[in-house]
Structure 1
């Protein structure tokens, strides 16, 4: 995620979080008499960074940050890039998306008195922990221009502990009231009552020149060329 892609409010929050993470890392390393700018001479010293990384970043923070960026920034960019729909038959007709928002998780029952839903209830009732997606649109009807706000277009699964999750910001007492474990890091979805997680896979970059050093110290370059028809390695 590049900082210059974030809006002003998100940029301030991002910088504040980065500063907090750096301060926490410095505190952890300072206990051993080390600093973040110190060189790391041995493999044993590098392994000492792992507990500090897990305590500062955790195992799922990259998933949560990525999902938050998608529903708060990326989805708006996608709609902005495809905001105008025109008609080939009647050039006077158009439909324009002027905004999009992802709501909070809620029940879909028509007669529900309390609209808020928790992940625990979704697990018990085989439901999807999701939130409505609404858009603001502008279109023509005859010779008049019509503007509508908050038109629902679908639902989106919400990642647990993300910015739109009901668990975010809850203390231990509130978590217990919702039958959730305070130690649960989140970073996964609940789809039809089943917990789903996105697995991260590491693959060699395709169609890019990779420069590295072999076991004998020689520098070599290689590229994995890939198309729909064939794949080839060149060194």
Structure 2
């Protein structure tokens, strides 16, 4: 999530659609790990907190071609109580934010049908087009009122095996997150985390089955803070 994208919105407290990516790594002989980084101490939103890569949907994300689309269950659930056509844009935003903040590529080697938008040029220059088929929509949360930034965030889970480049190479990452690292899932909740990240980590832990591939959950938890009272719902579309 760049300062430029925030500056494009005059009211920074307005609710913005956003996407977050939880990259899960399950190497042989190692405990399950997730990729996290720390936000800057002076950041307006969640300063000093450890978070997953993610940020707001940019205008260009609505027109980004996907070399492989979202799976049907994920697309249907993302469309629930949301603007028409937003599912591919959310997937594109997730892949772009992962690329910008970590340097990781979730894509396939293929040519873009048209010129890549500026935010995607580095991704395209490496010969990749974004691929969303390995993303699994697992959580949705709306930031409570009164915060300096508010997002309607969708959390995606992806296996690190779907990443096309070296998962230990962060050399192409921007400076949005520091201390990028693979954190054992069992130890992540000991970090300085936002409340919602703690909740998501618990949900992810409950989803995992040893030796089994990631699959869509039976329903997607939805922490809805649009009204005067918080509601914890389930998206079952």
Q: Compute the TM-score of the two structures, normalised by the length of structure 2.
A: 0.20
Q: Which has the higher helix share?
A: 1
Q: Compute the TM-score of the two structures, normalised by the length of structure 1.
A: 0.20
**Who wins on radius of gyration, i.e. which is larger?**
1
